Structure 1
Amino acid sequence: MANILVVDDDEIFRIYLVTVLQKAGYTVLEAENGQAALDLVGTMKIDLIITDIFMPKMDGIDLLAAVLAEHPNARMIAISGGYKAMNSKLTLEMAQSFGALEIITKPFHAETVLQKVQSALATLT
């Protein structure tokens, strides 16, 4: 099964997402911000990164750009919704234009996440 890195500064949300993915059979790593995630990406095999956009230290857009600069075939999903709804939607669209394979708006159902994860991993060889 795939290794997934969940990046979110909201611990409760991160635990929820990790639990959903683990119950689906995925191996899940977690990081509380983009910088911590970037440190993991350099040392571990990660098949998919699911990142929040608005976080301290390094936000999801900067993480997306940094990961894709070093690993152009990296698979990433961007999540947001905690900030003003309109800014969140525009930021997610920007993340997709930067290379996020999927975008998810908070709040969401577990089934939505699992469908987006399956879609993003579909091209995994």
Structure 2
Amino acid sequence: MKKILVVDDEAPVRKMLRSMFKNDNYEIVEADNGVTAKAMCLKGDIDLIITDIVMPEKHGVDLVMELKKEVPDLPIIAISGGGGVSGRFDYLEIANLMGADNILRKPFEAKDLRDIVHDVLGNKHE
């Protein structure tokens, strides 16, 4: 069973993301910050990470950049809401430049995220 790590500092968002995959054959694990997420990924049993960008302790862009250096084959989907644009910088675009495999702006449709996940992990869904 493929293991997906969902990273977001807001518990309701993690719960919502988990529920999107309740009918799929994935093991969903959670982290509420980038520091914990990085430690979990370095253990080597995560198949995909879905991470928010704006988080305390370790910013999602930093997480993407560090993981792409240390675990380059780990697929990363970066997600962020309307607060993702700060001044002239769009955090999702920066995450993309740092190596995120896919980016998705909140709010998004569950189907859009599920389609990306299934494409990345090679699974079909109904």
Output the TM-score relative to the length of structure 1: 0.88
- Decide whether the 8 Å contact of 1:11 with 1:32 is kept in 2: yes
In structure 1, the partner of 2:45 is 45
In structure 1, the partner of 2:14 is 14
Q: Which runs of 5+ in 1 are unaligned?
A: none
Q: Which runs of 5+ in 2 are unaligned?
A: none
Aligned-pair CA distance for 1:22: 3.0
Q: Which letter maps to 1:47?
A: D
Deviates more, 1:87-96 or 1:45-54: 87-96
Q: Give identity over the alignment, percent.
A: 40
In structure 2, the partner of 1:77 is 77
In structure 1, the partner of 2:32 is 32
**Aligned to 1:22, what secondary structure does the other structure show?**
coil
Output the TM-score relative to the length of structure 2: 0.87
Q: Label 1:34 to 1:82 Cα distance change in 2 as closer, same or farther (>3 A).
A: farther
Aligned-pair CA distance for 1:82: 4.8
**Aligned to 1:83, what secondary structure does the other structure show?**
helix
Aligned-pair CA distance for 1:44: 4.4
Count of residue correspondences:
121
Q: Which letter maps to 2:75?
A: R
Give deviations 1:68-99, integer Å, cap 9, x for gaps. Answer: 11111110000001515x44982111111111
- Decide whether the 8 Å contact of 1:5 with 1:46 is kept in 2: yes
**Aligned to 2:107, what secondary structure does the other structure show?**
coil
Give the whole-Å Cα distance in 1 for the aligned partners of 2:111 and 2:71.
Answer: 28
